[in-house]
Amino acid sequence: MPAEQPLAGRCVLITGGAKRIGAATARALHAAGASIVVHYHRSAQAAQDLVAELLAARAGSAYAVAADLLDVGALPGLVQRALERYGRLDVLVNNASTFYPTPLGTITSAQFEDLVGTNLRAPLFLSQAAAPALRAAEGLIINMVDIHAQRPLKAHPVYSAAKAGLLMLTKSLARDLGPQIRVNGIAPGPVMWPERTMDETLKAEIIGKTALKRPGSPDDVARTALFFAVDAPYVTGQVIAVDGGRSI
């Protein structure tokens, strides 16, 4: 195996892998030799474009699969599609996330179901579905947490609570799935702004509160995922903040 291809022969399933942090993670793990299953829900064109890009670099090395993560019954099918395509599953990246404000007094049950379902329930049940294949491969689960799992974001109580649950789920799964499966998390800070319009003054204020006084990028998160997948065989149950020191 070439030194620059440490994940050659491995299969990685990334939820919400078509855009943003998910796409950056897909590119990084693919460059390390992995075959990538790109999950998407509404971003069909972005998923197909990313898969085409990866296939152009290495034939047969990427595949797109659609699923609604709020449909728990559909989650085992994602794992099955990966196994049918590549015969194994080595890494599951629970990256997909829903994010929007829910000020107290305006929260609806539909918003609660959406935010908790995407950010906590789906990672749990997808990890459960993937566990047999990951156990056979002595694999890895990476959960995309958030620095706001530990320091709540104003007007986002449901999102913050869901990510706090995901942080504890990461630690719980690491304990329950060891020794065959490692489970770790990444907590991004200001590495990518929300897709909705955001005030430039607020962005500057957030950056000013980091120790490094600059924003990060999706590639910073992707490199951390690569570290877990390649260089951290004795690390499990840990969540690394990739936030420029925002959380200290």
pTM, entire model: 0.96
- Which one from 40, 63, 86, 159 is the annotated catalytic residue? 159
The SS3 of residue 87 is coil
Residues in the chain: 248
pLDDT tens digits, 42-55 = 999 999 999 999 99
Cα distance between residue 202 and residue 210, in whole Å: 13
Is 159 part of the annotated catalytic residue set?
A: yes
Question: What band does 112 get if pLDDT is binned at 50, 70 and 90?
Answer: very high
Question: What band does 1 get if pLDDT is binned at 50, 70 and 90?
Answer: very low
Contact 81, 38 (CB under 8 A): no
Among the ranges given (91-100, 105-114, 170-179, 199-208), the one the predictor scored with the smallest mean pLDDT: 199-208
Q: Domain residues of the chain, as ranges?
A: 11-242
Contact 219, 177 (CB under 8 A): no
Asked: is 11-242 a CATH 3.40.50.720 domain? The reply is yes
Contact 93, 62 (CB under 8 A): no
Q: At what angle do helices 122-137 and 157-177 cross, to 10 degrees?
A: 20
Helices (H), the chain: 20-31, 44-57, 75-86, 109-116, 122-137, 157-177, 200-208, 218-226
Cα distance between residue 35 and residue 58, in whole Å: 9
Contact 25, 93 (CB under 8 A): yes
